[in-house]
Amino acid sequence: MHPPAFLLTVATLCVGACAQSARQKLLVAVCQSIHATIQYEIETTRFAVSRWLVFLPELPELPSQTEVRLTDSVGAKPAAECSALARPVRFWDHAVAHPVAPSRLSITLEVDAALWSRRLAPLQASDLPPKVTPLSSIEAAFYQAPSRTFDFQSQAFVKWLKHGGLLRADNEAPLDLAARIITVLRSDFAYRFDMLEDKSVSLVCARAAADCAGFSYLLIAAMRANRVPARALIGRLAKPRRSGSGPMENAFDQPHVRVEVFIADLGWVPIDPTFAVQNQRRSVASFIGNDDGDMLVLHVDPDLQLPFPDQQRIAGSLQVAPYYWAYGEGPFDGFFGPTGWDLKSVSAVK
Protein backbone atom coordinates (compact mmCIF):
# COMPACT_ATOMS: atom_id res chain seq x y z
CA MET A 1 0.00 0.00 0.00
CA HIS A 2 1.50 3.32 -1.05
CA PRO A 3 1.41 6.45 1.16
CA PRO A 4 -1.04 9.16 0.16
CA ALA A 5 0.31 11.69 -2.30
CA PHE A 6 -0.07 14.42 0.25
CA LEU A 7 -0.46 14.47 4.00
CA LEU A 8 -1.03 17.61 6.01
CA THR A 9 -0.33 18.01 9.69
CA VAL A 10 -0.88 21.27 11.51
CA ALA A 11 0.02 22.68 14.87
CA THR A 12 0.47 26.00 16.62
CA LEU A 13 3.95 27.26 17.32
CA CYS A 14 5.66 30.56 17.92
CA VAL A 15 9.21 30.30 16.65
CA GLY A 16 10.34 33.90 17.06
CA ALA A 17 13.99 34.09 16.01
CA CYS A 18 13.85 31.12 13.63
CA ALA A 19 10.77 32.32 11.72
CA GLN A 20 8.19 35.05 11.86
CA SER A 21 6.26 35.13 15.10
CA ALA A 22 3.14 33.33 13.89
CA ARG A 23 1.32 30.05 14.24
CA GLN A 24 2.89 27.29 12.21
CA LYS A 25 1.97 24.00 10.61
CA LEU A 26 4.14 21.16 9.40
CA LEU A 27 3.40 20.14 5.81
CA VAL A 28 4.37 16.55 5.01
CA ALA A 29 4.35 15.15 1.48
CA VAL A 30 5.69 12.01 -0.12
CA CYS A 31 8.78 13.01 -2.08
CA GLN A 32 10.20 9.91 -3.74
CA SER A 33 10.36 6.13 -3.64
CA ILE A 34 13.93 4.85 -3.67
CA HIS A 35 15.85 1.61 -4.06
CA ALA A 36 19.27 1.42 -2.41
CA THR A 37 21.97 -1.24 -2.51
CA ILE A 38 24.60 -1.44 0.23
CA GLN A 39 27.49 -3.89 0.03
CA TYR A 40 29.99 -4.82 2.74
CA GLU A 41 33.26 -6.75 2.45
CA ILE A 42 35.16 -8.08 5.47
CA GLU A 43 38.48 -9.84 4.87
CA THR A 44 41.38 -11.44 6.71
CA THR A 45 44.84 -12.44 5.49
CA ARG A 46 46.23 -14.93 8.01
CA PHE A 47 43.22 -15.42 10.31
CA ALA A 48 41.00 -18.42 9.51
CA VAL A 49 37.47 -17.50 10.57
CA SER A 50 35.44 -20.31 12.12
CA ARG A 51 32.45 -18.19 13.21
CA TRP A 52 31.05 -14.85 12.11
CA LEU A 53 28.87 -12.70 14.37
CA VAL A 54 27.49 -9.68 12.52
CA PHE A 55 25.02 -6.93 13.40
CA LEU A 56 23.35 -5.06 10.55
CA PRO A 57 20.97 -2.07 10.55
CA GLU A 58 17.20 -2.67 10.51
CA LEU A 59 15.81 0.50 8.98
CA PRO A 60 13.01 2.10 11.03
CA GLU A 61 9.67 3.58 9.99
CA LEU A 62 9.80 7.32 10.71
CA PRO A 63 8.00 10.55 9.80
CA SER A 64 10.63 10.96 7.06
CA GLN A 65 10.46 7.41 5.66
CA THR A 66 7.76 4.76 5.37
CA GLU A 67 7.07 1.49 3.56
CA VAL A 68 10.58 0.31 4.38
CA ARG A 69 11.51 -3.10 2.99
CA LEU A 70 14.95 -4.56 3.68
CA THR A 71 16.49 -7.84 2.52
CA ASP A 72 20.00 -9.08 3.20
CA SER A 73 22.03 -11.70 1.37
CA VAL A 74 22.90 -13.78 4.45
CA GLY A 75 19.48 -14.22 6.05
CA ALA A 76 20.16 -12.26 9.24
CA LYS A 77 17.49 -12.47 11.96
CA PRO A 78 15.56 -9.58 13.52
CA ALA A 79 16.89 -8.54 16.92
CA ALA A 80 16.89 -5.55 19.27
CA GLU A 81 19.76 -3.71 20.87
CA CYS A 82 19.75 -3.47 24.66
CA SER A 83 19.06 0.18 25.43
CA ALA A 84 15.71 1.21 26.89
CA LEU A 85 14.60 2.14 23.37
CA ALA A 86 15.30 -1.42 22.09
CA ARG A 87 16.15 -0.15 18.60
CA PRO A 88 15.73 -2.82 15.89
CA VAL A 89 18.80 -4.42 14.32
CA ARG A 90 19.61 -7.63 12.42
CA PHE A 91 21.95 -10.34 13.70
CA TRP A 92 23.77 -13.08 11.79
CA ASP A 93 25.56 -15.92 13.61
CA HIS A 94 27.33 -18.21 11.15
CA ALA A 95 29.65 -21.16 11.77
CA VAL A 96 32.11 -21.77 8.92
CA ALA A 97 32.22 -25.44 7.93
CA HIS A 98 35.82 -25.39 6.69
CA PRO A 99 37.82 -22.44 8.13
CA VAL A 100 40.66 -21.28 5.91
CA ALA A 101 42.91 -18.25 5.65
CA PRO A 102 42.45 -15.87 4.02
CA SER A 103 38.79 -15.52 4.99
CA ARG A 104 36.25 -13.28 3.30
CA LEU A 105 32.68 -12.25 4.01
CA SER A 106 30.43 -10.39 1.58
CA ILE A 107 26.99 -9.03 2.55
CA THR A 108 24.51 -7.12 0.41
CA LEU A 109 21.52 -5.13 1.65
CA GLU A 110 18.67 -4.17 -0.67
CA VAL A 111 16.41 -1.38 0.60
CA ASP A 112 13.15 0.07 -0.69
CA ALA A 113 11.48 3.02 1.03
CA ALA A 114 9.23 6.03 0.51
CA LEU A 115 10.90 9.29 1.57
CA TRP A 116 8.86 12.29 2.76
CA SER A 117 9.52 16.02 2.66
CA ARG A 118 8.51 18.25 5.57
CA ARG A 119 8.01 22.03 5.71
CA LEU A 120 7.03 24.51 8.39
CA ALA A 121 4.40 26.89 6.98
CA PRO A 122 1.92 29.43 8.36
CA LEU A 123 -1.20 27.97 9.93
CA GLN A 124 -4.35 29.17 8.23
CA ALA A 125 -7.38 30.26 10.26
CA SER A 126 -9.38 27.31 8.93
CA ASP A 127 -6.75 24.73 9.89
CA LEU A 128 -7.42 22.51 12.88
CA PRO A 129 -4.38 21.26 14.78
CA PRO A 130 -4.16 17.44 14.81
CA LYS A 131 -3.67 15.19 17.75
CA VAL A 132 0.07 14.55 18.07
CA THR A 133 0.95 11.31 19.79
CA PRO A 134 3.05 12.24 22.82
CA LEU A 135 6.31 10.52 23.57
CA SER A 136 6.07 7.55 25.88
CA SER A 137 7.78 7.89 29.25
CA ILE A 138 10.59 5.67 27.96
CA GLU A 139 11.05 7.75 24.81
CA ALA A 140 10.92 11.05 26.70
CA ALA A 141 13.56 9.85 29.15
CA PHE A 142 15.79 8.37 26.43
CA TYR A 143 15.72 11.45 24.19
CA GLN A 144 16.69 13.75 27.07
CA ALA A 145 19.36 11.53 28.63
CA PRO A 146 23.15 11.68 28.38
CA SER A 147 25.02 8.80 26.76
CA ARG A 148 28.57 7.88 25.80
CA THR A 149 28.36 10.21 22.78
CA PHE A 150 25.96 12.77 24.27
CA ASP A 151 28.05 13.32 27.41
CA PHE A 152 26.58 16.78 27.97
CA GLN A 153 27.11 16.59 31.74
CA SER A 154 30.89 16.65 31.24
CA GLN A 155 32.78 19.68 32.49
CA ALA A 156 34.02 20.57 29.01
CA PHE A 157 30.56 20.58 27.46
CA VAL A 158 28.90 22.47 30.33
CA LYS A 159 31.61 25.11 30.01
CA TRP A 160 31.03 25.37 26.24
CA LEU A 161 27.27 25.63 26.73
CA LYS A 162 27.55 28.43 29.28
CA HIS A 163 30.26 30.28 27.36
CA GLY A 164 28.02 30.35 24.29
CA GLY A 165 25.04 31.58 26.31
CA LEU A 166 23.11 28.48 25.30
CA LEU A 167 21.02 27.96 28.40
CA ARG A 168 17.31 28.13 27.64
CA ALA A 169 15.68 31.39 28.70
CA ASP A 170 12.37 31.50 30.54
CA ASN A 171 9.51 30.93 28.09
CA GLU A 172 11.93 30.48 25.19
CA ALA A 173 10.45 28.29 22.46
CA PRO A 174 12.52 25.15 21.75
CA LEU A 175 13.06 26.07 18.10
CA ASP A 176 14.24 29.55 19.10
CA LEU A 177 16.84 27.83 21.27
CA ALA A 178 17.82 25.57 18.35
CA ALA A 179 18.29 28.66 16.16
CA ARG A 180 20.59 30.26 18.73
CA ILE A 181 22.66 27.06 18.99
CA ILE A 182 23.05 26.85 15.21
CA THR A 183 24.09 30.52 15.10
CA VAL A 184 26.92 29.70 17.52
CA LEU A 185 27.93 26.68 15.43
CA ARG A 186 28.08 28.91 12.36
CA SER A 187 30.35 31.45 14.04
CA ASP A 188 32.64 29.08 15.93
CA PHE A 189 33.09 26.03 13.66
CA ALA A 190 34.11 25.15 10.12
CA TYR A 191 33.02 22.03 8.28
CA ARG A 192 35.55 19.16 8.10
CA PHE A 193 34.65 15.57 7.29
CA ASP A 194 36.49 13.04 9.43
CA MET A 195 34.84 9.64 9.65
CA LEU A 196 37.31 8.32 12.25
CA GLU A 197 37.17 11.16 14.78
CA ASP A 198 35.62 10.53 18.21
CA LYS A 199 32.22 12.26 18.10
CA SER A 200 31.66 12.55 21.86
CA VAL A 201 30.34 16.06 22.41
CA SER A 202 32.81 16.73 25.23
CA LEU A 203 35.55 16.47 22.58
CA VAL A 204 33.72 17.98 19.58
CA CYS A 205 32.90 21.19 21.47
CA ALA A 206 36.62 21.94 21.88
CA ARG A 207 37.44 21.62 18.17
CA ALA A 208 37.36 24.33 15.54
CA ALA A 209 35.72 22.07 12.96
CA ALA A 210 33.18 19.26 12.78
CA ASP A 211 31.28 17.12 10.27
CA CYS A 212 27.57 16.28 10.07
CA ALA A 213 27.75 13.92 13.04
CA GLY A 214 29.66 16.45 15.14
CA PHE A 215 27.30 19.35 14.38
CA SER A 216 24.20 17.22 14.89
CA TYR A 217 25.45 15.73 18.14
CA LEU A 218 26.34 19.17 19.53
CA LEU A 219 22.85 20.46 18.76
CA ILE A 220 21.20 17.37 20.25
CA ALA A 221 23.33 17.49 23.39
CA ALA A 222 22.59 21.19 23.88
CA MET A 223 18.84 20.61 23.45
CA ARG A 224 18.87 17.66 25.85
CA ALA A 225 20.88 19.63 28.39
CA ASN A 226 18.02 22.14 28.27
CA ARG A 227 15.43 19.36 28.76
CA VAL A 228 14.19 19.35 25.16
CA PRO A 229 13.82 15.87 23.58
CA ALA A 230 16.09 15.52 20.55
CA ARG A 231 17.48 12.66 18.48
CA ALA A 232 19.87 11.89 15.62
CA LEU A 233 18.82 10.45 12.28
CA ILE A 234 21.84 8.45 11.12
CA GLY A 235 21.94 7.33 7.51
CA ARG A 236 22.92 8.27 3.97
CA LEU A 237 21.89 11.00 1.58
CA ALA A 238 19.57 9.73 -1.12
CA LYS A 239 22.05 10.09 -3.93
CA PRO A 240 24.44 7.62 -5.58
CA ARG A 241 28.18 7.45 -5.02
CA ARG A 242 30.01 10.26 -6.76
CA SER A 243 32.25 8.97 -9.52
CA GLY A 244 35.94 9.31 -8.68
CA SER A 245 35.44 9.70 -4.92
CA GLY A 246 37.47 7.65 -2.45
CA PRO A 247 36.56 5.67 0.71
CA MET A 248 37.51 8.51 3.07
CA GLU A 249 35.43 11.10 1.21
CA ASN A 250 31.89 12.03 2.12
CA ALA A 251 30.60 11.46 -1.41
CA PHE A 252 31.78 7.83 -1.46
CA ASP A 253 29.11 6.30 0.83
CA GLN A 254 27.11 9.55 1.25
CA PRO A 255 26.87 9.33 5.09
CA HIS A 256 24.81 12.04 6.76
CA VAL A 257 23.32 12.83 10.15
CA ARG A 258 20.36 15.10 10.85
CA VAL A 259 18.47 16.17 13.95
CA GLU A 260 14.86 15.96 15.04
CA VAL A 261 13.47 17.91 18.01
CA PHE A 262 10.18 16.89 19.57
CA ILE A 263 7.60 19.68 19.91
CA ALA A 264 4.40 18.72 21.74
CA ASP A 265 2.04 20.26 19.14
CA LEU A 266 4.10 19.33 16.08
CA GLY A 267 5.78 16.02 16.76
CA TRP A 268 9.31 15.48 15.42
CA VAL A 269 10.62 18.63 13.69
CA PRO A 270 13.61 18.13 11.33
CA ILE A 271 16.72 20.32 11.59
CA ASP A 272 19.95 20.18 9.57
CA PRO A 273 22.69 22.09 11.43
CA THR A 274 25.39 20.91 9.02
CA PHE A 275 23.73 22.36 5.93
CA ALA A 276 23.17 25.56 7.96
CA VAL A 277 26.91 25.83 8.64
CA GLN A 278 27.82 25.05 5.02
CA ASN A 279 25.29 27.46 3.48
CA GLN A 280 25.57 30.68 5.45
CA ARG A 281 24.01 32.82 2.73
CA ARG A 282 20.67 31.33 3.75
CA SER A 283 18.96 32.13 7.03
CA VAL A 284 19.18 29.77 9.98
CA ALA A 285 15.37 29.53 9.83
CA SER A 286 15.49 27.84 6.44
CA PHE A 287 17.23 24.81 7.97
CA ILE A 288 14.72 24.40 10.81
CA GLY A 289 11.56 22.48 10.04
CA ASN A 290 12.65 21.82 6.45
CA ASP A 291 13.48 18.35 5.14
CA ASP A 292 13.75 17.74 1.39
CA GLY A 293 13.04 14.02 1.69
CA ASP A 294 16.56 13.28 0.50
CA MET A 295 17.95 11.00 3.21
CA LEU A 296 17.66 7.30 3.97
CA VAL A 297 17.80 6.72 7.74
CA LEU A 298 19.54 3.53 8.85
CA HIS A 299 18.90 3.96 12.57
CA VAL A 300 18.09 6.54 15.23
CA ASP A 301 20.83 7.77 17.60
CA PRO A 302 24.38 6.49 18.14
CA ASP A 303 25.66 4.11 20.83
CA LEU A 304 23.80 0.94 19.92
CA GLN A 305 24.13 -1.64 22.72
CA LEU A 306 24.53 -4.85 20.75
CA PRO A 307 23.76 -8.19 22.48
CA PHE A 308 26.55 -10.51 21.39
CA PRO A 309 26.28 -14.02 22.91
CA ASP A 310 29.10 -13.40 25.40
CA GLN A 311 28.54 -9.72 26.27
CA GLN A 312 27.12 -6.41 25.13
CA ARG A 313 29.28 -4.27 22.90
CA ILE A 314 28.60 -0.65 21.94
CA ALA A 315 28.62 0.37 18.28
CA GLY A 316 28.89 4.09 17.61
CA SER A 317 26.76 3.57 14.52
CA LEU A 318 25.92 1.14 11.71
CA GLN A 319 26.07 3.91 9.13
CA VAL A 320 28.94 2.83 6.87
CA ALA A 321 29.96 -0.57 8.22
CA PRO A 322 28.29 -3.41 10.11
CA TYR A 323 29.53 -4.31 13.58
CA TYR A 324 31.15 -7.75 13.60
CA TRP A 325 33.06 -10.23 15.74
CA ALA A 326 35.00 -13.23 14.43
CA TYR A 327 36.33 -16.41 16.04
CA GLY A 328 39.05 -18.50 14.47
CA GLU A 329 42.72 -19.47 14.36
CA GLY A 330 45.84 -17.42 13.72
CA PRO A 331 46.81 -13.78 14.28
CA PHE A 332 43.69 -11.66 13.85
CA ASP A 333 44.15 -9.26 10.92
CA GLY A 334 40.57 -8.61 9.86
CA PHE A 335 39.76 -5.43 8.05
CA PHE A 336 36.68 -3.84 6.56
CA GLY A 337 37.18 -3.96 2.82
CA PRO A 338 35.59 -2.11 -0.10
CA THR A 339 31.96 -1.05 0.21
CA GLY A 340 29.26 -0.71 -2.36
CA TRP A 341 26.61 2.02 -2.41
CA ASP A 342 24.06 2.86 -5.04
CA LEU A 343 20.69 4.58 -4.90
CA LYS A 344 18.01 5.05 -7.52
CA SER A 345 14.86 7.15 -7.29
CA VAL A 346 12.20 4.72 -8.48
CA SER A 347 9.58 7.46 -8.60
CA ALA A 348 9.72 11.12 -7.65
CA VAL A 349 6.91 13.55 -6.88
CA LYS A 350 7.38 16.91 -8.59
Each residue's pLDDT, cut to its tens digit, for the chain (350 residues) gives 333 333 333 333 333 333 333 588 889 999 999 999 999 999 999 999 999 999 999 999 999 999 999 999 999 999 999 999 999 999 999 999 999 999 999 999 999 999 999 999 888 888 877 678 999 999 999 999 999 999 999 999 999 999 999 999 999 999 999 999 999 999 999 999 998 899 999 999 999 999 999 999 999 999 999 999 999 999 999 999 999 999 889 999 999 999 999 999 899 999 999 999 999 999 999 999 999 999 999 999 999 999 999 999 999 999 999 999 999 999 999 999 889 999 999 887 65
CA distance 152 to 35: 37
CB 52 within 8 A of CB 324: yes
Q: Are strands 295-300 and 65-72 parallel, antiparallel or unpaired?
A: unpaired
List the one residue out of 333, 310, 306 whose CA is nearest residue 318. 306
User: Structural domain boundaries of the chain?
Assistant: 7-348
Q: In this structure, which topology does domain 7-348 adopt according to CATH? A: C8orf32 fold (3.10.620)
- pTM (2 d.p.): 0.92
Give the pLDDT score at 1: 38
Phi/psi for 62 (5° steps) reads -140, 170
Give the pLDDT score at 123: 84
Give the pLDDT score at 101: 98
Q: How far is CA 75 from CA 90, 91, 121, 191, in A?
A: 9, 9, 44, 39
Any residues with CB less than 8 A from the CB of 242 and at least 6 apart, and which?
249, 251, 252
CB 295 within 8 A of CB 256: yes
Q: What is the DSSP string of 162-218?
A: HHTT-SPPTT--HHHHHHHHHHHHHHH-EE---TTS---HHHHTTSSEE-HHHHHHH
